[in-house]
Amino acid sequence: MTFLITAGPTREPIDPVRYISNRSSGKMGYAIAEAALDAGHDVILISGPVNLVPPRNAKFISVWTSDEMFGAVHQFADSSDICVLCAAVADYKPAQVSPVKIKKRNAEFSLELIPTRDILQSLGLQQDRKFLLVGFAAETDYLEANATKKLGEKNCDIIVANDAHIGMETDENELLILFCDGETKKISRAPKTFLACELVKIFSNSQQKRLTKKM
């Protein structure tokens, strides 16, 4: 099968030297890419800026902004079997990007932000999609409630939820997996490499089941 995986943060420019971003390390997405390759799948890895070496056998697409990630995902989603949107896409971007460095002044300064396009939701809206759609939810509170809401709103097949206090910038995570048929699965705290192997098995099985149901 072909896995499309997004990973890492996005950077939303303010001016030529500044941007808005977040603390995502990309480790979970890269671990899933490695695990999928090890299991014999093809991988398209679309990554924001991170300090990790891309897996050698993946088709690697490097992006910076949410708009670039949106474009790359839409270019390859329909030729993929499983889309795993693990990236921490910025939720807002500056309404305007200054073409020159904004000068420091001794006064308050506010920046107008507008929402970025939701890539996961845009794929969920595709009524006739053939691929399995997996989203991630990193939450600091009400993990299950927030993840359940996301599963519905973004119309995906699976949401993988994790506590942002445990998973951000670390090598470990603890996962709660929510399926669209109401099933849930918990995987206790473990290295991201181990979790990635479990996730790849779960995603491939779910896509196989989904395809058999549709036949």
Which H/E stretch holds residue 191?
strand 184-191
CB atoms within 10 A of CB 38: 14
DSSP for 122-169, please give it: HHHT-TT--SEEEEEEEESS-HHHHHHHHHHHTT-SEEEEEEHHHHTT
Q: Give the residue at shortest CB distance from ligand C5P.
A: 119
Cβ atoms of 73 and 4 within 8 Å: the answer is: yes
* Radius of gyration of the CA atoms of the chain, in A: 18
Under rule CB under 6 A, residue 118 binds ligand C5P = yes
Which token pair is 202?
A: 């779960």
- Subset of residues 3 to 62 that bind ligand C5P, contact rule: CB under 6 A: 6
What ranges in the chain are assigned the alpha helix state H? 27-38, 66-76, 119-124, 143-153, 164-167, 192-214
Q: Is there a catalytic annotation at residue 173?
A: no
CB under 6 A: which stretch of 23-31, 40-48, 115-123, 182-190 binds ligand C5P? 115-123
Q: What is the largest CA-CA distance in the chain?
A: 66
Residue 100 or 142 with smaller CB distance to ligand C5P: 142
Under rule CB under 6 A, residue 93 binds ligand C5P = no
Under rule CB under 6 A, residue 82 binds ligand C5P = no
- Subset of residues 130 to 169 that bind ligand C5P, contact rule: CB under 6 A: 135-137, 150
Least separation in angstroms between residue 215's CB and ligand C5P is 28
CB under 6 A: which stretch of 20-28, 37-45, 84-92, 193-201 binds ligand C5P? 84-92
Distance of CA 60 to the CA centre of its chain: 15
Residue 95 or 215 with smaller CB distance to ligand C5P: 95
Under rule CB under 6 A, residue 89 binds ligand C5P = yes
- Contact track, ligand C5P, 167-196, x by CB under 6 A: ------------------------------
The amino acid at residue 46 is I
The amino acid at residue 136 is F
Least separation in angstroms between residue 89's CB and ligand C5P is 4
Under rule CB under 6 A, residue 202 binds ligand C5P = no
Residues in touch with ligand C5P (CB under 6 A): 6, 66, 85, 87, 89, 91, 116-120, 135-137, 150
Which amino acids are annotated catalytic? 22
